[in-house]
Amino acid sequence: MDDRKLTPAEEKRKTKFKALSAELEQQGYQKTDLCFSVTKANVLAVAVTFPILIAGILLFFWKNGGSNSFSLSGWRFLLFLITFLAGIAVHELIHGITWSIFAKKGFKAIDFGFMAKYLTPYCTCGEPLPFWSYATGILMPTLILGVGVYLVGLFAESYAWALWGLLNIFAGGGDLAVLWRIRKRRKSLLLDHPYQIGCVVFDKN
């Protein structure tokens, strides 16, 4: 699914992942791989978020008309770009913080990585989690940085904040695609993949 060369940290996580998967299978769990290729994840991200983006834009103009409380020009555009790029890192941190709340080992179960080939940062949890715990960690960055910031922009009549929120909803499209794929796995244990997009699920035989 991903032919890129793994980093030493990824190789280490891969070894732990295989050992934990084998342990769960010995306990009577059946393993199912629900990972995506990067290409498929990007296509699904666009498909999932495009209707949301259109609805968000229409809602903003329906509520606020042509008001403009924040101009994206000059240094403000640069600030907007810097904060958006910083938000990508914060997005992954929110994944980690949320999952650490549910993980037995806390933040020690969390690791971060970067797919240099795709210029994509990621966060992974090294413990299997119940559906709602895993799904909460998946969704939280998009709720906070996407939906939350968009609503601030909507009610503050700020194009910039609304756009920032919508872009973060788009950035969370891959997470939403994963959430959609696991939606029927509510009785399963879900183990985040150590270096690919998605997870594996374990069901009792």
Pairing, β 110-115 against β 120-125: antiparallel
Cα atoms in the 13 Å half-sphere on the side-chain side of 79: 9
- State residue 127's pLDDT score: 96
- State residue 179's pLDDT score: 93
**pLDDT (tens digit, 0 to 9) for every residue of the chain, 205 residues total?**
556 788 888 899 999 999 999 999 999 999 999 998 878 888 989 999 999 999 999 999 999 876 555 566 777 788 888 999 999 999 999 999 999 999 999 999 999 988 877 778 899 999 999 999 999 999 999 999 999 999 999 999 888 899 999 999 999 999 999 999 999 999 999 999 988 889 999 998 7
- State residue 3's pLDDT score: 66
- State residue 129's pLDDT score: 97
167/84 Cα distance (integer angstroms): 8
- State residue 101's pLDDT score: 97
Q: Which of 146, 88, 145, 153 is nearest to 121 (CA)?
A: 88
